[in-house]
Amino acid sequence: MNCREMMEDMGRKARKASRELANASGNARQRALEILADMLESEAEAVYVANGRDLDAAAERGLDKARVQRLTISEKVLKYMVDGCRFVAAMPDPIGEIESMKKRPNGMLVGRMRVPLGVVAMIYESRPNATVDAGILCLKAGNAVILRGGSEAFHSNRFLADLMHRALEQAGLPRDAVQVPPTTDREAVAEMLKLDEYIDVVIPRGGEGLIRAVTEQASMPVLKHYKGVCHMFADASADIDRAVPIVDNAKTQYPSGCNALECLLVHRDVAERLLPRVAEALGPKGVSFRCCPESLPLMGEHAKAAEPGDWGFEFLDLILAVRVVGDMDEAMDFIAEHGSNHTEAILTENYEHAMRFIREVDASLVVANATTRFNDGAQLGLGAEIGISTSKLHAYGPMGVQELTSAKFVLLGEGQIRE
């Protein structure tokens, strides 16, 4: 069977499984996720062994530090997966819920019923935990899913998919509701992106190059974000003692994340008090700074002059661009020009400034007085996420169970006809 035949077969199986899954009880879908959580705990050592094979191969291939970090299933990451399974399992079942039922003048009742999207395809790099996140969210929302992870996580993804198959079967659900192509051949991706007959939506998750390639090739809708260029603006009223640890966390807690801070904008009135403390806190952790002329003398030995390409750049590393601005309007104009609609934040003690920033800045998450790292499905109460959409249609921000459903109109009549 060649790649085209293989992917068409997977598409047909996914479409069939999606119908069965949508008609299954919410209790069965919940039970599958609970079983999966138990399996991840009981077979943790086997998970680490499979992941170890990928990490060994990554070392041989010389993968960069950021990709290895995303590839690793640590105890913390495994616990995150287990907790995500149980959290999502316990969420209310969205399928079949009728919203906004209203009575028309002719007596008809018109509402909207929450329904699955159908078949979701996800294409992603590294991050084997995304295999579980995507799987559990799609299953809870009644969708079948085809998961095409990167070749660097092949063994991890195959093992995690096997656990999901076993959990589905124990819950009486079709194992084809979750599928992972048994090949690392890139042709499989190209063929999958032609299957609009079977696949309703594709979600790419990874670097900008991957996402643009998927968008250009896909024959079905794509939910995406190209990159995460996240800014933080320290207003003139920012609390310095509170601001420094927030900036530190946003940059250093997980620098390769798409919600990591890439550029710090500082009001001129607070720059001389805030920036040296930022340099003192972040410099010893290995952060280097790309600075505008006004901020450069304030940032110490780890600073150098910024180049034009540093503004609006996603470093995904321990590098932070720093710029002094005259006021909030200048900061928001800069964000509008260089941001990526992902995550933007303000540090301020001025309530009106905070609310204006939240209203006017266009991003999937706008934050006041907290780290950008909170743009994450689990942190925002979704249990997990399948990705973060910056394309606005049909979702904006982290995509959880609700975002993996749609709503169809339903009409309850008593013999009404149209005049």
Taken in order of first residue, the domains within the chain and their CATH numbers are 3-223+399-412 (3.40.605.10), 230-374 (3.40.309.10)
pTM of the entire structure? 0.89
Sheet holding 109-116, edge to edge: 98-103, 109-116, 405-412
Q: For the residues 290-313, what does the mean pLDDT come to?
A: 98
Backbone conformation region of residue 94, classed left if phi is above 0, alpha if psi is from -120 to 50, else beta: alpha
Residue 384 contacts by C-beta under 8 Å, 6 or more apart in sequence? Answer: 84, 87, 88, 132, 133, 136, 137, 377, 378, 400
CA dihedral 358, 395, 92, 159 (to 10 degrees): -120
| pLDDT interval class at 243 (50, 70, 90) | very high
pLDDT at 391: 86
pLDDT at 225: 85
* Cis peptide bond prior to 267, omega within 30° of 0: no
Sheet holding 261-267, edge to edge: 303-305, 288-291, 319-325, 261-267, 230-234, 343-347, 365-368
Which pLDDT tens digit goes with each residue over 47-96?
Answer: 999 999 999 999 999 988 878 988 999 999 999 999 999 999 999 999 99
Is the pLDDT reported for residue 324 higher than 80? Answer: yes
Is the pLDDT reported for residue 413 higher than 80? Answer: yes
Is the pLDDT reported for residue 8 higher than 80? Answer: yes
pLDDT at 99: 85
Which pLDDT tens digit goes with each residue over 86-131?
Answer: 999 999 999 999 988 999 999 999 999 999 999 999 999 888 999 9
Is the pLDDT reported for residue 207 higher than 90? Answer: no
Residue 271 near residue 327, CB atoms below 8 Å: no
| pLDDT interval class at 169 (50, 70, 90) | very high
Q: For the residues 192-209, what does the mean pLDDT come to?
A: 94
Q: For the residues 151-169, what does the mean pLDDT come to?
A: 97
Question: What does the mean pLDDT of the chain come to?
Answer: 96
Task: Read off the amino acid at residue 257.
Answer: G
Q: For the residues 27-36, what does the mean pLDDT come to?
A: 98
Residue 95 contacts by C-beta under 8 Å, 6 or more apart in sequence? Answer: 22, 26, 114, 115, 116, 141, 142, 405
Q: For the residues 372-379, what does the mean pLDDT come to?
A: 95
| pLDDT interval class at 380 (50, 70, 90) | very high
pLDDT at 107: 97
